[in-house]
Amino acid sequence: MNTYIVAAVGEWNERAFDSICKRLNGMWLFCSTPDNLEGLLKENKPRYIFFPHWRWIVPEHVISNFECICFHMTDVPYGRGGSPLQNLIVRGHKDTKLTALRMEKGLDSGPIYSKESLSLAGSAHEVYQRATALTWDMIQEIIISEPTPVAQTGNPTLFKRRTPQESEIPDSLTLEQVYDYIRMLDAPGYPQAFLDIGDYRLTFQETSFNSDELKAHVTIRLKD
């Protein structure tokens, strides 16, 4: 019986693991931190390690000794690198590809198992939930067919991981761009879009937009 490890952050990923893995063949293990992962690898030899949504660089000794598969929210080689959802939305993309690729030393440069279309509509949390459902469809196909990944082709476009300071809403955006800025950061664990006014910081979430009006939930706090 094969053993599989799923390494992921986000409560939506853990819920998906709990509901789906009990229906799949094999032994399935979940971890949410690098230390958890190292502990599991001391006691198990997984057929695959899946990384649906991971925030840390995976050590080279893990990548070189196990078949590690990540799910990157761009049509690689376009969009290799950090904060793919936010970088796509600020560039005006409305949809993307979710790519399953083998992890190697180069960031998001490994060969591709499969790609599936993914809409970028809605809040970041909604997009991540859709991506999670799609990821599990792809995981199930991979463990059944065990495909050989195919090398990427074309010139890469690199994304840079965004910082919390970049969550400040820039000046001179259109109303639709402000809507995009708020929704792309609206997920648990992400620094929400904000504006500083005097001694106060206004943070925004739960936004909606039509042609001439934007609505959002606003929280006002004293700045640190």
Span 127-183, pLDDT tens digits: 999 998 999 999 999 999 999 999 999 999 999 999 999 999 999 999 999 999 999
CA 61 to chain centre: 23
Residue 118 pLDDT: 98
pLDDT at 13: 85
pLDDT value of position 76? 97
Q: How far is CA 56 from CA 8, 76, 82, 164, in A?
A: 10, 19, 10, 17
**Domain 164-222 bears CATH identifier 3.10.25.20:** yes
Does the reported pTM lie above 0.95? Answer: no
Domain ranges of the chain: 3-159, 164-222
Summarize pLDDT for 76-108 with one digit per residue, the tens: 999 999 999 999 999 999 999 999 999 998 889
Q: Is the pLDDT of residue 209 over 90?
A: yes
pLDDT of residue 159: 97
Which superfamily does CATH assign the domain made up of 3-159 to?
Formyl transferase, N-terminal domain (3.40.50.170)
**Cis bond before residue 84 (omega within 30° of 0):** no
pLDDT at 189 over 90: no
- Average pLDDT of the chain is 95
pLDDT above 90: percentage of residues in the chain: 85
pLDDT, tens only, 33-70: 999 999 999 999 999 999 998 888 899 999 999 999 99
How far is C-alpha 17 from the geometric centre of its chain's CA atoms? 16
